[in-house]
Structure formats: C-alpha cells, structure tokens
Structure 1
Amino acid sequence: MKLLFKQHRMYESEHTQFIKDLKAKNPGIEASQQQGRSLLWDKAPTSLDEQSRQSESRIAQQAYVYQSKS
C-alpha cells in the first residue's frame, strides 16, 4: 500500500496543471476574481431600522403565482 501511495504522490491532474499555469501567466487573476466577487456578493450591512422597513414593505406572494385572481 505504501508503494502505491509513493508512486502517485507527485501526480497532478490536467485541471490542476492548467490552473497552476494560468496563475503563473496571470499573477493578478486572483485579485481580479476577488474584486469581481466583492461587486456581486459582498454587501454592506444594513441597519436594524432599514431591515424592519424592508420587512414591513414586503408584499406577500400568493400561493400559486401563475394563477390570476380574476
């Protein structure tokens, strides 16, 4: 069992090699990814007053959204 582990310890998949090569060619890629992530996902915290205002102004959705009320 130890022999098998030693043989495959240095194995890297094609995907891992691709990512390592990509990062070597573009050293700023991780910083740009984090910057893009922050634009889409990182939101500023909202105050308790703003949270209560948002919850009070929320309109309840009907049970079956595709059925008209008429």
Structure 2
Amino acid sequence: MARVEFDYVSDHTKFINEEMKKNPEWRTDQQNGRAMWWDKPQDVKQNEIYADAKVPQKSYPYDVLFDS
C-alpha cells in the first residue's frame, strides 16, 4: 500500500498562508465579505412555504418535444 504524506502543502496554500501573514487585515475583510454574501438569517416558515410550492420536475425535461 502507498504511503500517504500528511505533511504536503500545495504551492497555492503556501502562497495564501504567506500573504495572510503579511496582511493580517485580510482576515477581517474575509469575514466581512462572508457576512455580506453568505451569513444571512434563515426564516424557517418561509423556507417551508417555498418547499411546499415546488412543482415536481419530470424525469426528462425534454419529454414535451416528443409528445405526439
């Protein structure tokens, strides 16, 4: 069985880690960007309404083209 190297770090990861050390303020910018775009409060009731309103999709969406 092949030996797995757990200590490998890609060139990209090394680059990002070095840049983060040089620019620690990026961490705050990163967190602010995440909060702006992704971390949103969820409305459970509204999500249930959306889930209930879904229409089941046909198994093959182009069946309409072949109906005679």
CA RMSD of aligned residues (A): 3.0
- What residue in structure 2 maps to residue 9 of structure 1? none
TM-score (norm 2): 0.54
- Aligned in 2, Cα 1:55/1:26: closer, same or farther, shift over 3 Å? same
Q: Structure 1: 5+ residue runs without aligned partners? A: 1-12
For the pair shown, the structure with the greater C-alpha radius of gyration is 1
State the shift of 1:22 in Å: 0.6
| Structure 2 unaligned spans of 5+ | 1-8
TM-score by length of 1: 0.53
Query: Partner letter of residue 27 of structure 2?
Result: E
CA deviation profile, 1:4-51 (whole Å, cap 9, x unmatched): xxxxxxxxx574653343123322111222222233332311132x13
